[in-house]
Amino acid sequence: DSELKKEDLQRIIELMDGFKASKALFTSSKMGVFDLLQTRPGLDAAQVAQELKASVKGTECLLEACVALGLLKSKGRTGQSPMYENTHLATRFLLSDAPLSLQGYIRHCNDTVWPLFSHLESAVQDGSNQREKAFGKKSQDVFQDTYYNSKEVKLRFMNAMHSIAKVTGKAVATAFDLSKFKTACDIGGCTGAMAYEFTKAHPKLSVTVFDLPAVVEMSEHFHPLHTDNRVSFVAGDFFKDELPKADLYILARILHDWPDEKVHLLLSKIADACTPGCAVLIAETMLDGQTPYSALQSLNMLAQTDGTERTESQYADLLSKHGFRETRVVHTWNFLDAFIAIKIKRICLIA
Ligand code: SAM
């Protein structure tokens, strides 16, 4: 039918404008708007501009966009310019020191994912990541060649992982009854944020975080107090070095970084370290053909890595080739879904 429907037009405008909303969020977060208005609520645009050392015209525009997006509230005053303060959403997620701060991930989206997405068309055409086009450097391994080359980029990436792991960690750690496991190894566990959520949720569990030396040497930076002695760190390369022994192997946002061959290499090493009854717990967003989050995240993996997001049955299939069965999945509604599989017996169908 040829009649124009209001909701159709609104939906398509919303999709076309999605990038503007994202960039307004990234920019206000990076410029420190929310931290400023938390300590000094009620500033007007000229005062915010002065504090941020930005133009009044630009700041007015940005603050009004934040109001329209539900990140700020404004109070009008007759004859005077409006005063701004944070909404609940901003206080919860956008302050640098909020327990569930997403600032680290937002920064990564702005500085890393945004440039990669500007080459999405090439990514689709070539079927491969766009790191060289976006960052001007050839890179074989996204971590060792792109993120860990400079201390600044490494810390930015670690902050990004830390923020998502803190928000989603509890949902993943409590998705299954893990009471029979005494030791876990968080493979590629980065800052340890997920490991700490596991020990918090399971008082008898100890977790070894296994990650590259470049990451482990910075982990103190994220947990200066070392309040939990059930979390320890071991440095190594999970494709080359021996993995720490554990009853439970956690793989949070690891498999989506790699193509199937590399996933098989890692799973075969884990399977070798496992005895029957040991388990693998995967935390990833599962492609379900319905929600945009996992499908868009898969585009992100395409542009950024050599991996992809996968469906529940793809994970089950990859794991079954290494003797992991009895799979169960919990959709957490948070960033990551949780998937567990138990080691049945020693088999490997991969040549
Ligand atoms: N598991 C963490 C989480 O969910 O927040 C971090 C996920 S991040 C996408 C991937 C992690 O794998 C990074 O911490 C990275 O340093 C680590 N990693 C990548 N290649 C590795 C390797 N060859 N050996 C050990 N760790 C590796």
CATH number (domain holding residue 220): 3.40.50.150
Atom number in ligand 1 closest to CA 250: 1
Q: Is residue 302 part of a domain?
A: yes
Q: 57 with 191, same domain?
A: no
Atom number in ligand 1 closest to CA 240: 23
* 206 backbone dihedrals φ, ψ, rounded to 5°: -110, 140
Residue 218: its pLDDT value, please?
Answer: 92
Q: 36 with 181, same domain?
A: no
Active site amino acids: 256
Residue 350: its pLDDT value, please?
Answer: 59
Residue 288: its pLDDT value, please?
Answer: 86
Residue 54: its pLDDT value, please?
Answer: 98
Q: 57 with 173, same domain?
A: no
Give the number of residues written for the chain. Answer: 351
Both structure tokens of 133: 């086009």
* CA 284 – ligand 1 centroid, Å: 13
Q: Is residue 329 part of a domain?
A: yes
Instruction: Identify the residue whose C-alpha is closest to ligand 1 atom 18.
Output: 188
Q: Is residue 253 part of a domain?
A: yes
Instruction: Give the Cα separation of 301 and 113 in Å (integer).
Output: 10
- The answer to whether 253 and 187 have CB atoms below 8 angstroms apart is no
CATH code, 42: 1.10.10.10
Q: 50 with 175, same domain?
A: no
Q: Which of 109, 191, 219, 254 to mutate to test the pocket of ligand 1 (most atoms within 8 A of CB)?
A: 254
Identity at 228, one-letter amino acid code: D
Q: Which of 102, 109, 190 to mutate to test the pocket of ligand 1 (most atoms within 8 A of CB)?
A: 190
Q: Is residue 110 part of a domain?
A: no
Residue 225 CB coordination number (10 Å) = 6
What residues of the chain score a pLDDT lower than 70? 224-227, 345-351
Domain boundary among 54, 77, 93: 93
Residue 201: its pLDDT value, please?
Answer: 96
Both structure tokens of 50: 């002065």
Q: Is residue 18 part of a domain?
A: yes
The total of structural domains in the chain comes to 2
Atom number in ligand 1 closest to CA 147: 16
* CA 250 – ligand 1 centroid, Å: 11
Instruction: Give the Cα separation of 192 and 161 in Å (integer).
Output: 10
Instruction: Identify the residue whose C-alpha is closest to ligand 1 atom 12.
Output: 188
Domain that holds residue 231: 168-343
Residue 224: its pLDDT value, please?
Answer: 57
Instruction: Identify the residue whose C-alpha is closest to ligand 1 atom 24.
Output: 237
Q: Which of 109, 211, 257 to mutate to test the pocket of ligand 1 (most atoms within 8 A of CB)?
A: 211
**CA 176, 179, 181, 186 torsion-angle sign:** positive
Q: 196 with 308, same domain?
A: yes
Atom number in ligand 1 closest to CA 148: 16
Instruction: Give the Cα separation of 219 and 224 in Å (integer).
Output: 9
- The answer to whether 330 and 306 have CB atoms below 8 angstroms apart is no
* CA 351 – ligand 1 centroid, Å: 26
- Residue 316's closest CA among 280, 265, 291, 262? 280
Atom number in ligand 1 closest to CA 141: 20
Residue 283's contacts (CB-CB under 8 Å, 6 or more residues apart) are 168, 172, 194, 250, 251, 252, 253, 336, 337, 338, 339
* CA 29 – ligand 1 centroid, Å: 26
Instruction: Give the Cα separation of 205 and 306 in Å (integer).
Output: 33
* 105 backbone dihedrals φ, ψ, rounded to 5°: -70, -35
Q: Is residue 224 part of a domain?
A: yes
Domain boundary among 45, 60, 93: 93
Listing from the earlier edge strand, what are the strands of the sheet with 337-343? 231-235, 206-211, 183-187, 248-252, 279-284, 337-343, 324-330
Q: Is residue 256 part of a domain?
A: yes
DSSP-derived letter for residue 141 is S
Q: 274 with 177, same domain?
A: yes
Q: 69 with 211, same domain?
A: no
Q: Is residue 286 part of a domain?
A: yes
* CA 236 – ligand 1 centroid, Å: 11
H helix or E strand, kind and range, residue 82: strand 80-86
* CA 302 – ligand 1 centroid, Å: 17
Q: Which residues line ligand 1 (CB under 6 A)?
A: 143, 161, 164-165, 188-190, 194, 211-212, 215, 237-239, 252-254, 257
- The answer to whether 139 and 146 have CB atoms below 8 angstroms apart is yes
Domain boundary among 59, 93, 127: 93
